[in-house]
C-alpha cells in the first residue's frame, strides 16, 4: 500500500475533530438537563470515550472491520483482536493512510454512537448499569451494524446501500437504541406534567458549535483522503446544517410564535445528522433540500413524544432517528454520480438506490431496536438500570458522583 | 424606626438605589428572590413544549429609616421602580424595635 502524507495528515486531524464531538455532545445534552443532573449527563458521555476506546482496540474494531466471518457479510472475525495483524489494508479497502489510523478514525464513530443514546434516557440511568450497557451494546449492536454497512464485505454494503459517514450506523442506530432504553427504564418522575426545562441554554449552543466543528472531521474525513470528495462533503455538511437551522426556526416561528436559540442549535444538529449519510453522494441542491427537510421535519417530530407518552428526554429519536432516516432515504432521490456513488431518482437513476436505502434503514432500525431493547431489559431485570426515586429526586450529581456542578455559596464546610 | 421592604423588578435596582442615595438614604440590603403576585409567572417554550414558569426573579430591597422619612423613601421607590406594567412589585413597611451599629455600638436613629 502507498501511504499519502496529505491524506494521512487530514485523517489524523479529522480523527481528533470527531473525538471532540463527544465532549461537545456532553455540553449539548448537559445544558438541556436540569442543574442537578448536568454532571451525571456529562459523565455518561465521557465514560463512553473511556469504555469504547478500550473495547474498540481490543475487540470491536476486529468484529466491525476484520475479515468477514463465513462470507455472509454479517460480522468480522477476531483477526485484528488487540490490533493484531493490522499491517496492510483492511479487507476490501485500498487505503492511502495507515491502517492503524483508519482504525482510530472509526473508533471515534464507535464512541459517539452510544454517547448519543444518553440523551433519550437522561436523568435516570444507574452509572454502572450504563457502563455495562454500552460495553455489550458496542459488541452486539454497533460492531455488526458497522460491518453490514461500512465494511466493503458487509451484506448491506454489497447490496449497494450508501452511507457515507454514518446515517444508519451512527444516527438511526443510536436513535432507535435511545428510544428502546427510554421505553425500558420508563419516564422521568413527573414527566410530562412537571416542567423540566434546560438549565443552561448557552451551554447547549456551545455544545452545538463544537458538534458542528467536529462534524467536518466526521463527514469530510469519511472521504479517507484530502481530496475533492472530502471538499464536497465539507461544503454539503455546512450547507445542510445552515438550511436545517433556518427551517427549524421557521417552524418555531409559525407554530410557537418565537424562534428560539435551542431551536437554532437543534436545527443545525438535525441538518448535520441528515447530511451525514449523504454528504459524499449529493450536490449542493441535494444538501440544501436535505437540510431544509431535516430542519422542518425534526422540529415537528420532537413534538410526537408527548402524543405517545414516551419520555425521550432530549429527543434522540426526533433528531437522530428521524434525521438519519431523512438523510438515508433522500440519497435515493438526490444521489449523483457526479459527486460519488450512483444516481438517484432525480438524476435518472430510477428507484433502485432508494429501495436499497429503504432496506438498510429498515433492517438497521429493526435490529438495533430489538437487540437494544432486549439488552436494556436484561439489565433492568437483573442489576437494575434505573436509579432510585430518592436519587432521581435529589439529582444524579450528588447521589451518583458526590459533586455539584455549580457552587455559589462561599461557605463550604470543613475539608479533610 | 421602620423597615421598608420592597420587591421590585431586577433591572430597576440601579434606578431605585440612585433615587434613594440622591435624597441621602444610604444603606440598603439587596437579595435575589423569586415569587409571583398577580403577574402569575410567564411561559417559556423549549422545542415546542410550553412551560409555565410560576416564580419570577425579583429583587428584594430592605432598608431601615427613621419614622419621619418613611413616606419620602417609599415615594422614591415607587417613582423609580414603576414601569406601569404588571409585575412592578410591592412595598411593605414594618416597625423596628432597635438598630445597632456593630462597629461603634450606637443605637436607634444614630445607628442608621
d(CA A389, CA A282): 49
Please name the residue of chain B whose CA is at the shortest distance from the CA of residue A249: B47
Measured CA distances, A257 to A3, A94, A252, A265, B50 (Å): 55, 53, 7, 18, 12
How far is CA A166 from each of CA A106, A276, A406, rounded to the nearest angstrom?
Answer: 10, 6, 36
Spatial contact of B93 and B4, defined as CB atoms under 8 Å apart: yes
CB contact under 8 A, B52 and A195: yes
* Nearest-10 Cα torsion for A236, A239, A242, A243: -100
pLDDT of residue B51: 86
Alpha carbon separation from A160 to A71, A235, A264, A355 (Å, rounded): 17, 24, 34, 10
Identify the pLDDT of residue B4.
97
- Where are the extended beta strands (E) located within A116-187? none
Angle between helices A201-220 and A228-256 (to 10 degrees): 150
Given this model, what pLDDT does residue A121 score?
Answer: 98
Q: Is A260 on the interface with B (CB under 8 A)?
A: yes
**Tally: H helices and E strands in chain A:** 18, 0
Residue B95's SS3 state is: strand
CA distance A41 to A329: 31
Q: Which residues of B touch A263 (CB under 8 A)?
A: 47
pLDDT confidence of residue A195:
86
Decide if B45 and A256 are in contact by the 8 Å CB cutoff.
Answer: yes
**Which residue positions in chain A have pLDDT lower than 50?**
none
Contact list, A256 vs chain B (CB under 8 Å): 45, 48, 50
CB atoms A263 and B44 under 8 Å: no
Rg of chain B (C-alpha set): 17
ipTM for the complex shown: 0.81
- pLDDT on residue A413: 65
* H or E element, residue B4: strand B2-8
Query: How far does the CA of residue B92 sit from the closest CA of chain A (Å)?
Result: 29
For each of chain B's 112 residues, which pLDDT tens digit applies?
A: 999 999 999 999 999 999 999 999 988 999 999 998 887 778 899 998 888 888 889 999 999 999 999 999 999 999 999 999 888 999 999 999 999 999 999 999 999 8
Q: Are A94 and A155 in contact (CB under 8 A)?
A: no
- pLDDT per position as a tens digit, A59-105: 999 999 999 999 999 999 999 999 999 989 999 999 999 999 999 99
User: How far, in Å, CA of A219 to CA of A273, rounded?
Assistant: 10
Residue by residue, DSSP assigns B21-69 as HHTT----EEEEEEE-STT--EEEEETTEEEEE-SEEEEEEEEEE-GGG
| Residue in chain B lying closest to A201 (CA) | B46
Q: Would you say A244 and A292 are in contact if contact means Cβ atoms under 8 Å apart?
A: yes
Amino acid at each position: 500500500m502507498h501511504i499519502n502524507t496529505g491524506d494521512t495528515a487530514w485523517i489524523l486531524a479529522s480523527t481528533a475533530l470527531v473525538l471532540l464531538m463527544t465532549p461537545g455532545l456532553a455540553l449539548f445534552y448537559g445544558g438541556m438537563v436540569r442543574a442537578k443532573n448536568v454532571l451525571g449527563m456529562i459523565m455518561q458521555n465521557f465514560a463512553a470515550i473511556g469504555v469504547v476506546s478500550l473495547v474498540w482496540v481490543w475487540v470491536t474494531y476486529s468484529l466491525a472491520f476484520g475479515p468477514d466471518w463465513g462470507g455472509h457479510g454479517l460480522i468480522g472475525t477476531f483477526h485484528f483482536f488487540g490490533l493484531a495483524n493490522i499491517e496492510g489494508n483492511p479487507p476490501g479497502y485500498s487505503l492511502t493512510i495507515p491502517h492503524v489510523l483508519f482504525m482510530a478514525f472509526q473508533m471515534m464513530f464507535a464512541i459517539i454512537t452510544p454517547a448519543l443514546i444518553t440523551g433519550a434516557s437522561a436523568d435516570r440511568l444507574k452509572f454502572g448499569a450504563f457502563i455495562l450497557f454500552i460495553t455489550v451494546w458496542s459488541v452486539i449492536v454497533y460492531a455488526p451494524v458497522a460491518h453490514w454497512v461500512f465494511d466493503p464485505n458487509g451484506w448491506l454494503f454489497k447490496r449497494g446501500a450508501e452511507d457515507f459517514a454514518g446515517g444508519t450506523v451512527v444516527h438511526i442506530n443510536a436513535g432507535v437504541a435511545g428510544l428502546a432504553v427510554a421505553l425500558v427504564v420508563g419516564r422521568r418522575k413527573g414527566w410530562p406534567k412537571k416542567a423540566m426545562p434546560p438549565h443552561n441554554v448557552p451551554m447547549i449552543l456551545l455544545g452545538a458549535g463544537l458538534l458542528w466543528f467536529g462534524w467536518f472531521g466526521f463527514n469530510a474525513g469519511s472521504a479517507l483522503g484530502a481530496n475533492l470528495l472530502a471538499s464536497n462533503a465539507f461544503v454539503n455538511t455546512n450547507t445542510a446544517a445552515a438550511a436545517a437551522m433556518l427551517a427549524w426556526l421557521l417552524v418555531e416561528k409559525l407554530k410557537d410564535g418565537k424562534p428560539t436559540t435551542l431551536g437554532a442549535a437543534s436545527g443545525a444538529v438535525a441538518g448535520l445528522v441528515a447530511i451525514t449519510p449523504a454528504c459524499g453522494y449529493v450536490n449542493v441542491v441535494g444538501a440544501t433540500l436535505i437540510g431544509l427537510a431535516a430542519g422542518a421535519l425534526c422540529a415537528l417530530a420532537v413534538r410526537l413524544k408527548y402524543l405517545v407518552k414516551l419520555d425521550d428526554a432530549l429527543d434522540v429519536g426526533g433528531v437522530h432517528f428521524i434525521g438519519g432516516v431523512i438523510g438515508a432515504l433522500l440519497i435515493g432521490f438526490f444521489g449523483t454520480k457526479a459527486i460519488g456513488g450512483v444516481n438517484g431518482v432525480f438524476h435518472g437513476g430510477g428507484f433502485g438506490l432508494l429501495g436499497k436505502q429503504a432496506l438498510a434503514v429498515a433492517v438497521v432500525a429493526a435490529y438495533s431496536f430489538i437487540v437494544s431493547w432486549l439488552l436494556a431489559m436484561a439489565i433492568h431485570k437483573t442489576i437494575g438500570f434505573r436509579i432510585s426515586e430518592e436519587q432521581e429526586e435529589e439529582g444524579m450529581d450528588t447521589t451518583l458522583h458526590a459533586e455539584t456542578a455549580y457552587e455559589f455559596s462561599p461557605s463550604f464546610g470543613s475539608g479533610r | 424606626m421602620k423597615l421598608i421592604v420592597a420587591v421590585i423588578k431586577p433591572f430597576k435596582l440601579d434606578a431605585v438605589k440612585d433615587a434613594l442615595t440622591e435624597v441621602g438614604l444610604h444603606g440598603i440590603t439587596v437579595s435575589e428572590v423569586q415569587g409571583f403576585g398577580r403577574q402569575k409567572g410567564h411561559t417559556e417554550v423549549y422545542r415546542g413544549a410550553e412551560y409555565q414558569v410560576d416564580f419570577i426573579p425579583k429583587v428584594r430591597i430592605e432598608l431601615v429609616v427613621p419614622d419621619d422619612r418613611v413616606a419620602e423613601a417609599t415615594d422614591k421607590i415607587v417613582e423609580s421602580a414603576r414601569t406601569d406594567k404588571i409585575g412592578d412589585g410591592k412595598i411593605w413597611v414594618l416597625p423596628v424595635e432597635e438598630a445597632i451599629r456593630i462597629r461603634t455600638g450606637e443605637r436607634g436613629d444614630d445607628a442608621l
